[in-house]
Structure 1
Amino acid sequence: MKCPFCGHADTQVVETRESDDGVFVRRRRRCGVCDRRFTTYERAEVTFPQVVKKDGRRVDYDAAKLRASLALALRKRPVSTERLDAAIARIEERLLAEGAREVPSQRLGEWVMQELRELDQVAYVRFASVYRSFEDVDAFRSLIDEVRG
């Protein structure tokens, strides 16, 4: 790692610590030439697949959009942020485990529905009604029967 102060390429790791959540590694380094210390953070670079929309468009996976969709369905429902974060993490793990460069938006939507069904049945019905474009009360009724079932 190049020293940010003198530009010398010979730096030494003095201390290494993993973050509490295990997301990154913090390293204290010392330059062998100017003897100054600095900190670096190491984080895994993950590339998510592109999402293929119903109309064929390809868009980059957007974690903020996923979180907003789930949060909207869960609005005013008794689900903790920790449980929401865990659901998002499981969806993202599935995205990465697929190993594909593209994933159909329908598959992503089904994964979201599976997670919502486990988190909160009302949120599940809310999301499903929009996701599946319910046109009448009978569609709601059959989904509610399925949830009760």
Structure 2
Amino acid sequence: MYNRVIMLGNLTRDIELRYTQNGMAIAKSAIATNRRYKTQTGEQKEETCFIDITLFGRAAEIANQYLKKGRKILIEGRLVFEQWVDQSGQKRSKHSIAVDNLQMIDRGETPSNYQPQNSYQQNSKPTQDYQAPSVKEEIPEIDIEDDEIPF
């Protein structure tokens, strides 16, 4: 089986960064992508797709520091089906993307030749239910000026 998703879109909200008890960083946000099309009557329509994304480890910390609502990003990851029971006891579910590669896109720039090796790649491999690995990693302080960002 093959599970690979590539999406280009804008962040719909600021990054929400949390840490597990083991010190693993987990960042959540969502992206929106648009599709323009013509109906059979020739009318121009646009539909927007919103999907939640999750980043792990160092990628989560970098995303938290540099990404804000509205920023255009290119992500590559895998589709994940999440299930839970809400406060009223109802079973809920949704699809989201566990991000493996992230590329920040400047305003107005679209990638003409997407190359994952030029993007930020995750070091950690999360489990399907987002539990941190048993190894505790040291999380260094990030002190980088905006003009020093390599991407």
TM-score strictly above 0.5: no
Structure number with the bigger relative contact order (C-alpha 8 A, sep ≥ 6) is 2
TM-score bucket (shorter structure): under 0.3
**Greater Rg, structure 1 or structure 2?**
1
Which structure's residues are more often helix, by fraction?
1
